[in-house]
């Protein structure tokens, strides 16, 4: 691989100086990405149309990907541990999915009627996730969660939604600590994640108006924090007891076992939301669950609920998704990559423990997040820039995502780069300078 030139790392300097040097090295190594970003700023605010992809001083412009490697505009190659924020589970340019897409492109794209793959794809998802008795498609995880929430409100005749601090359920459905001024106008109550006593009390308080409890069984964007099984089981039991729907957002976590994290944990939600990788890399979302609820969308009924969307069953996603679910995402492949992720997380934590630095890696299987002391934004910036300089592409927030093409040699490379970061930055990580 063609790697970016490593920046000079000096010992015994302040965190601010270390970040400045890392940024200078990044800028020097990536003139084409910088130029592309500056040009983009003339037409898009901040040169960006997807907030999470931006990081300062500017994001890398990616031009090509194959398997577990991405290439930027300056000719550098990186092992892709960002993984399209969990969407890229199949890796880049998967041959089976690529062939399915190329075949569909020969026959027309959108034709205004049911497609030949719709039913087979829906059946494949219902077979994979036992809680799905019926499913409907949409275009993103955001849409899936919006539709699931409105389904719960229509089914129960209630309006209150319980969500959890740190959760991200899509654009307008983000619940960071301290709140958000960009939220959709649902009547929400926000509970601390993994706080069973508080959640139980809030459900009891709102039992007559509660429409749904919406939760990720592991916080994804919120730091890959697994939900305690007793906490999740209590939410399922208490919500269903008071007539509310228990909704699992598995847009990210459904990759953590062949039947989703709900299968691994033994949960049976009323509704499940899906997205990301299940569309084979195309824009995709889905929501589904109990037949008696989902059948209210049956347009043969005079009082059917309306669910429109021009691209809900676009032929490219249907073809790519069916190929991905039935031919690529085998039980063996998913179990292997999640086992690899568990080993990687243990290795990273062992590096930090041996060095005696306050760094912790949380997660399950192929999804994890590296947490530094107080989640200091400068330390996270330094972590990302140092790893990028070592040819390892990760998210600014420390999230690490594996893809199916990855091997032990790939994860060993990340462990080595992380060990070098910990060794060279130990005084900054411990605050002893």
- Whether residues 41 and 118 share a domain: the answer is no
Span 330-382, pLDDT tens digits = 999 999 999 999 999 999 999 999 999 999 999 999 999 999 999 999 999 99
- Whether residues 296 and 392 share a domain: the answer is no
85 is catalytic: no
Q: Please state the pTM of the whole predicted model.
A: 0.95
- Whether residues 228 and 314 share a domain: the answer is yes
Catalytic: which of 67, 74, 104, 276?
276
- Burial of 31 (C-beta count, 10 Å sphere; 0-12/13-18/19+): exposed
From 341, 369, 154, 377, select the one nearest 245 (Cα to Cα): 154
What's phi and psi for 253, nearest 5 deg?
-80, -10
- Whether residues 32 and 107 share a domain: the answer is no
- Whether residues 32 and 143 share a domain: the answer is no
Structurally, the chain folds into a number of domains equal to 2
- Whether residues 300 and 400 share a domain: the answer is no
Span 93-111, pLDDT tens digits = 999 999 999 999 999 888 8
Using pLDDT thresholds of 50, 70 and 90, give the confidence band for residue 431: confident
- Whether residues 120 and 210 share a domain: the answer is yes
Going by their DSSP bridges, the two strands 285-289 and 134-138 should be labelled as antiparallel
- pLDDT given at position 342: 98
The C-alpha angle 232, 235, 240, rounded to 5 degrees, equals: 135
Q: Which residue in the block uniquely carries the two structure tokens 């927030």?
A: 397
Instruction: Give me the mean pLDDT over the 65-72 stretch.
Output: 98
331 is catalytic: no
Span 230-284, pLDDT tens digits = 999 999 999 999 999 999 999 999 999 999 999 999 999 999 999 999 999 999 9
Residue 357 in domain: yes
Residue 5 in domain: no
Distance CA 400, CA 380 (A): 13
- Whether residues 141 and 286 share a domain: the answer is yes
- Whether residues 69 and 166 share a domain: the answer is no
Mean pLDDT of the chain: 96
Catalytic: which of 249, 270, 386, 410?
249
Residue 4 in domain: no
Last residue of a domain, one of 285, 312, 328: 328
CATH number of the domain to which 192 belongs: 3.40.640.10
- Whether residues 140 and 198 share a domain: the answer is yes
CATH number of the domain to which 345 belongs: 3.90.1150.10
Span 119-141, pLDDT tens digits = 999 999 999 999 999 999 999 99
Weakest mean pLDDT among 132-141, 156-165, 171-180, 223-232: 171-180
Cβ atoms of 333 and 194 within 8 Å: the answer is no
- Whether residues 73 and 104 share a domain: the answer is no
- pLDDT given at position 178: 84
- pLDDT given at position 1: 61
Last residue of a domain, one of 328, 347, 377: 328
Does the pLDDT of residue 400 top 90, yes or no? yes
Last residue of a domain, one of 328, 348, 376: 328
Instruction: Give me the mean pLDDT over the 164-189 stretch.
Output: 92
Catalytic: which of 67, 72, 80, 168?
168
- pLDDT given at position 418: 98
Decide which of 92 and 110 is more confident. 92
Cα dihedral value 39, 44, 48, 51, nearest 10 = 160
Residue 6 in domain: no
Cβ atoms of 16 and 90 within 8 Å: the answer is no
Instruction: Give me the mean pLDDT over the 66-77 stretch.
Output: 98
Residue 417, token pair as written in the block: 């780069």
Cβ neighbours of 303 (radius 10 Å): 5
177 is catalytic: no
Weakest mean pLDDT among 3-17, 180-194, 283-297, 401-415: 3-17
- pLDDT given at position 429: 97
- pLDDT given at position 3: 67
Q: What separation in angstroms does the CA of 371 have from each of 220, 253, 360, 377?
A: 13, 19, 5, 11
Residue 10 in domain: no
Residue 203 in domain: yes
- Whether residues 320 and 341 share a domain: the answer is no
Give the HSE-up count for residue 367: Cα atoms under 13 Å, Cβ half-sphere: 28
Domain that holds residue 412: 15-89+333-430
Residue 340 in domain: yes
Does the pLDDT of residue 179 top 90, yes or no? no
Residue 190 in domain: yes
Span 279-327, pLDDT tens digits = 999 999 999 999 999 999 999 999 999 999 999 999 999 999 999 999 9
């Amino acid at each position: 691989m063609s790697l970016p030139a490593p920046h000079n790392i000096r010992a015994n300097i302040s965190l601010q100086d270390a970040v400045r040097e890392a940024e200078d090295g990044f800028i020097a190594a990536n003139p084409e990405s910088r130029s592309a970003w500056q040009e983009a700023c003339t037409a898009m605010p901040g040169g960006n149309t997807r907030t999470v992809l931006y990081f300062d001083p500017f994001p890398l412009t990616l031009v090509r990907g194959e398997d577990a490697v991405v290439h930027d505009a300056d000719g550098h190659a990186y092992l892709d541990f960002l993984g399209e924020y969990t969407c890229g589970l199949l890796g880049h340019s998967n041959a089976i999915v690529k062939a399915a897409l190329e075949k569909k492109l020969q026959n027309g794209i959108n034709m205004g009627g049911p497609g030949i793959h719709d039913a087979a794809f829906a059946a494949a998802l219902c077979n994979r996730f036992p809680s799905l008795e019926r499913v409907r498609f949409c275009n993103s995880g955001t849409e899936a969660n919006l539709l699931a929430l409105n389904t719960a409100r229509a089914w129960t005749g209630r309006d209150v939604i319980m969500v959890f601090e740190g959760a991200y359920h899509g654009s307008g459905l983000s619940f960071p600590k301290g709140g958000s001024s960009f939220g959709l106008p649902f009547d929400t109550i926000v509970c601390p994640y993994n706080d069973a006593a508080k959640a139980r009390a809030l459900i009891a308080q709102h039992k007559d108006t509660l429409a749904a409890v919406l939760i990720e069984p592991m916080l994804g964007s919120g730091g890959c924090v697994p939900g305690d099984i007793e906490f999740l089981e209590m939410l399922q039991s208490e919500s269903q007891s008071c007539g509310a729907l228990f909704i699992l957002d598995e847009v990210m976590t459904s990759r953590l076992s062949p039947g989703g994290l709900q299968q691994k944990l033994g949960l049976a939600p009323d509704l499940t939301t899906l997205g990301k990788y299940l569309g084979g890399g195309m824009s995709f979302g889905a929501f589904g669950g109990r037949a008696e609820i989902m059948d209210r969308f049956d347009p043969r009924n005079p009082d059917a609920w309306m669910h429109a969307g021009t691209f809900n069953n676009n032929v490219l996603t249907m073809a790519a998704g069916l190929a991905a679910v039935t031919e690529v995402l085998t039980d063996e492949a998913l179990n292997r990559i999640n086992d690899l992720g568990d080993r990687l997380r243990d290795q990273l934590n062992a590096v930090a423990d041996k060095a005696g630095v306050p760094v912790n890696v949380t997660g399950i299987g192929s999804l994890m997040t590296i947490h530094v002391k107080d989640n200091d934004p400068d330390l996270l910036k330094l972590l990302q820039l140092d790893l990028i300089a070592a040819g390892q592409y990760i998210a600014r927030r420390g999230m690490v995502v594996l893809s199916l093409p990855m091997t032990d040699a790939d994860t060993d490379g990340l462990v080595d780069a992380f060990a070098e970061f910990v060794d060279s930055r130990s005084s900054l990580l411990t605050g002893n300078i």
